[in-house]
């Protein structure tokens, strides 16, 4: 028995070395040999699962994580990895939450596990008719805050969940708390600008998005939001300039990543929607001809809504 354990450990060591050099098939052979000699070798099953993940054989990976858990029910990492795969494969929400709950039962004071559980509640999970559960996401992130009240990102997350649950004032209080704790986070000011914009407090929203851009000037979504704020303040020339900055940053990203602008790609969608917004700013500036140029570009990129704008402003 001792010899078998020693031999299985040797196979395991060899497998880790093969993994280090990304020799996945050789590592699998060694791990298979290890588990044949030691069928309860939970760590070997865990490593096999990770290899199957790398090979994009996700169901096989889940099977190996399940074997790792069978032989070591306290292996938190296996529950978390299996939950992530269930989520990726769009399995029923209960599969995901059951694994997260098991991990939490083993580490009840780990605030990051509650953060992860809140994320899953706030996500779209299977079946398709299950909508994001922001109420439970808020309750769960409350647990993370109770354990670790000094993380500003938790207040930002709770603010986000509350905003998406239409609790705007409470969301504003939470993001204020996050900013008090960490004044140099551009994303916090961006988020507060979104909240204030949703409350029609456009001047405060402008102050916040300007602060976000002061801290981070390379994100197109910041300039698009500032364009929206200016538009609602009826400052259409400033809106046009902000939308143009957003479009330029999107083009820069497209060139840097050599991205193809397929109709359903995120960059395509962002770009054509921003073109519509800039076109409307031009229309409001009494420059419908220039605005129609943006509408036509958006239409060529696959934006069906552009037809409505063209019919209304370009005939």
pLDDT tens-digit map of 64-79 = 999 999 999 999 999 9
| CA 185/CA 87 separation, integer angstroms | 29
Q: Is 309 exposed, middle or buried (0-12, 13-18, 19+ CB in 10 A)?
A: buried
Predicted structure pTM score: 0.89
Number of other CB atoms surrounding residue 41 within 10 Å: 24
Non-local CB neighbours of 198 within 8 Å, separated by 6+ positions: 163, 168
Alpha carbons 37 and 9: distance in angstroms, whole number: 10
d(CA 133, CA 161): 9
Task: Look at residue 257 in the predicted model and tell me its pLDDT.
Answer: 75
CB burial string 52-85: b at 16+ within 10 A, e below: bbeeeebeebbbbbebbbebbeebbebbbbbbbb
Q: Is 4's pLDDT higher than 70?
A: no
DSSP 8-state symbol, 128: T
- What CA–CA distance (Å, rounded) separates 78 from 63? 11
Helix, strand, or coil here: 216? coil
User: Cβ(6)–Cβ(34) under 8 Å?
Assistant: no
pLDDT of residue 1: 52
What integer pLDDT is reported at residue 124 of this predicted model? Answer: 76
Q: Which tens digits make up the pLDDT trace of 146-183? A: 999 999 999 999 999 999 999 999 999 999 999 999 99
Tell me the residue length of the chain.
315
End-to-end CA separation in angstroms for the chain: 86
């Amino acid at each position: 028995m001792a010899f078998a354990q020693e031999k299985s450990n040797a196979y395991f060591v060899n497998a880790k070395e093969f993994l280090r050099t990304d020799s996945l098939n050789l590592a699998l052979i060694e791990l298979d040999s290890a588990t044949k000699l030691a069928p309860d070798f939970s760590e070997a099953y865990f490593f096999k699962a990770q290899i199957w993940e790398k090979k994009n054989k996700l169901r096989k990976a889940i099977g190996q994580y399940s074997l790792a858990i069978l032989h070591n029910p306290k292996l938190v990492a296996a529950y978390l990895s299996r939950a992530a795969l269930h989520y990726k494969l769009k399995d029923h929400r209960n599969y995901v939450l059951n694994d997260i709950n098991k991990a939490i039962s083993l580490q009840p004071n780990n605030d990051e596990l509650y953060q992860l559980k809140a994320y899953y509640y706030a996500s779209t999970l299977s079946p398709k008719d299950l909508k994001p559960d922001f109420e439970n996401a808020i309750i769960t992130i409350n647990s993370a805050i109770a354990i670790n009240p000094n993380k500003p990102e938790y207040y930002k997350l709770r603010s986000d969940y509350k905003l998406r649950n239409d609790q705007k004032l409470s969301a504003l209080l939470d993001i204020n708390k996050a900013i008090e704790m960490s004044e140099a986070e551009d994303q916090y000011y961006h988020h507060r600008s979104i909240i204030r914009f949703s409350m029609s407090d456009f001047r405060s929203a402008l102050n916040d998005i300007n602060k976000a851009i002061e801290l981070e000037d390379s994100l197109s979504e910041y300039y698009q939001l500032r364009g929206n704020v200016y538009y609602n303040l009826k400052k259409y020339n400033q809106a046009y300039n902000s939308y143009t900055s957003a479009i330029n940053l999107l083009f820069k990203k497209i060139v840097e990543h050599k991205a193809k602008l397929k109709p359903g790609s995120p960059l395509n969608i962002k770009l054509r929607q921003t073109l519509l917004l800039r076109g409307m700013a031009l229309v409001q500036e009494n420059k419908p001809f220039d605005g129609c140029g943006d509408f036509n570009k958006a239409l060529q990129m696959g934006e069906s809504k552009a037809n409505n704008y063209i019919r209304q402003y370009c005939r």
